């Protein structure tokens, strides 16, 4: 049984494609090896590519190829690819509405959004260059999982669904811009002739748009699941086209059915358009039939973020300053719950499982530390 994660093409600068027997699309919410949408993937032999970052970090969107066990909780990754959805100057910031605009696209934030180089949405000024990892919403806007401050000298990146494709003039609309792809290179198996209206793409450009026209340097297909074959998969996205719990709806543009799924994270009745939902199950006839679904965020209700690190303590300086799998951790809060040990047992080489619900200035604020 074989399937490939969408196009997945163009891993790193070499343009290596991705082929796998099961895939996951979502956000990195833990390391040990890498945890995506509640599935812990072993990555000992995986090819990990993080474009535009020196390492995979919490909140980055990812495409995982590999295999998932029948319990839908563990798996083995053969490839992990992370690419930011947007990079460019913030052209509008509305902290009260929890939104900013980048390259003509509206990006929303919530309690689970991680900030690096900036402390919050209100600290982002118009003109600040940001790099955004985000999940698409059905109305054309996006919900950010991670926002980083970046240098203005870096290439622009924008993502979205192709619209108003004109193959004669080699242009299409994306967000609020007209993209000219006449001189662009294409990543992976994607070529200019395979572009289609509605296809989600990532566009990279080295120059700012002029009179609303952006000249693309490189185009790759967005993260998608394959729609043929039967295989295990997991997915995180924002619900759209919702017509009821017993009907198919869209999640990250993928048809999903949760009629027989075990729903956690809140009452099933709270699932609807705009809810961030994590699902795991089997792809059948192009529909991801979920066995489990977890509500991660519901508009107006919220939902706690959840991050987990499993590994060995390193670079230990104090209970407020150590790392697990390269991720900085602060476990100094008096409310932190320690199991099978105490704060005094934290030291280099200690094997721990750390959980937290908040990342501040790149540091995971631990709520529990379990010694293994």
Long-range contacts for 343-347 (Cβ within 8 Å, ≥24 apart)?
Answer: 343/319, 343/369, 345/371, 346/313, 346/316, 346/319, 346/322, 347/313, 347/316
| Three-state secondary structure call for residue 193 | helix
Domain boundaries, the chain: 86-149, 156-221, 231-297, 307-371
Angle at 113 between CA 109 and CA 118, to 5 degrees: 95
- State the distance between the two ends of the chain, measured CA to CA, in whole angstroms: 36
Per-residue pLDDT at 133: 97
CATH number for the domain running over 231-297 = 2.40.50.140
Q: What is the DSSP string of 219-288?
A: EEEPP----SS-EEEEEEEEEES---TTS-EEETTEEEE-TTPEEESS-GGG--TT-EEEEEEEEETTEE
DSSP state of 302: B
Chosen CATH of 86-149 out of 3.30.70.360, 3.30.1950.10, 3.30.565.10, 2.40.50.320 = 2.40.50.320
Q: Going residue by residue through the chain (372 aa), what tens digit of pLDDT does each one get?
A: 223 333 333 223 233 333 344 589 999 988 878 989 889 999 888 899 898 888 899 999 999 999 888 888 899 999 999 999 999 999 999 999 999 999 889 999 988 899 999 999 999 999 999 999 999 998 889 999 999 999 999 999 999 999 999 999 999 999 889 999 999 999 877 899 999 999 999 999 999 999 999 999 999 998 888 878 888 899 999 999 999 999 999 999 899 999 999 999 889 999 999 999 999 999 999 999 999 999 988 876 666 678 999 999 999 999 999 999 889 999 999 999 999 999 999 999 999 999 998 898 889 999 999 998
Per-residue pLDDT at 21: 47
CATH 2.60.120 describes domain 307-371: no
What class is the 156-221 domain?
Answer: mainly beta
CA–CA distance from 170 to each of 162, 192, 213 (Å)? Answer: 12, 8, 12
Q: In the block, which residue shows the tokens 């379990």?
A: 370
Per-residue pLDDT at 302: 61
Q: How far apart are CA 362 and CA 131, in angstroms?
A: 14
Per-residue pLDDT at 45: 85
Q: pTM for this one?
A: 0.85
Q: Are 303 and 272 in contact (CB under 8 A)?
A: no
Structure-token pair, residue 33: 């090896």
Asked if the domains 231-297 and 307-371 are classified in one and the same CATH topology, the answer is yes
Residue 270 burial (CB count, 10 A): 15
Q: In the block, which residue shows the tokens 């679904």?
A: 293
């Amino acid at each position: 049984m074989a399937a490939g994660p969408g196009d997945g093409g163009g891993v790193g600068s070499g343009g290596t494609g991705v082929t796998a027997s099961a895939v996951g699309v979502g956000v990195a919410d833990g390391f040990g090896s890498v945890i995506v949408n509640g599935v812990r993937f072993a990555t000992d032999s995986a090819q990990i590519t993080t474009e535009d970052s020196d390492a995979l970090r919490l909140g980055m969107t990812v495409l995982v190829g590999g295999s998932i066990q029948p319990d839908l909780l563990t798996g083995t990754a053969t490839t992990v690819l992370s690419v930011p959805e947007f990079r460019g100057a913030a052209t509008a910031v509305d902290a009260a509405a929890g939104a900013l605009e980048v390259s003509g696209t509206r990006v929303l934030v919530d309690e689970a959004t991680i900030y690096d180089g900036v402390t919050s949405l209100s600290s982002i000024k118009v003109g600040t260059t940001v790099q955004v990892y985000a999940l698409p919403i059905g109305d054309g806007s996006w919900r950010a999982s991670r926002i980083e401050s970046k240098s203005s000298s870096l290439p622009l990146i924008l993502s979205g669904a192709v619209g108003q494709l004109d193959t004669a003039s080699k242009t299409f609309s994306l967000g609020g811009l007209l993209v000219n792809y006449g001189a662009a290179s294409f990543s992976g198996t994607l070529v200019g002739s395979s572009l289609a209206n509605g296809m989600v793409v990532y566009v990279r450009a080295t120059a700012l748009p002029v009179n609303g026209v952006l000249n693309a340097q490189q185009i790759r297909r967005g993260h998608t699941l394959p729609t043929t074959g039967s295989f295990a998969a997991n997915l995180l996205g924002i619900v759209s086209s919702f017509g009821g719990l017993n009907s198919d709806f869209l999640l990250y543009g993928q048809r999903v059915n949760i009629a027989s799924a075990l729903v956690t994270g809140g009452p099933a009745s709270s699932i609807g358009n705009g809810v961030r939902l994590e699902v795991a199950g089997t792809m059948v006839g192009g529909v991801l039939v979920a066995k489990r679904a977890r509500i991660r965020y519901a508009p107006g209700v919220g939902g706690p973020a959840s991050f987990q690190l499993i590994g060995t303590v390193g670079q230990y300086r104090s209970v407020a300053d150590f790392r697990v799998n390269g991720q900085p951790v602060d476990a100094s809060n008096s409310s932190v719950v320690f199991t099978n040990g105490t704060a005094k047992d934290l030291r280099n080489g200690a094997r721990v499982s750390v959980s937290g619900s908040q990342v501040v200035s790149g540091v995971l604020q631990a709520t529990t530390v379990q010694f293994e």
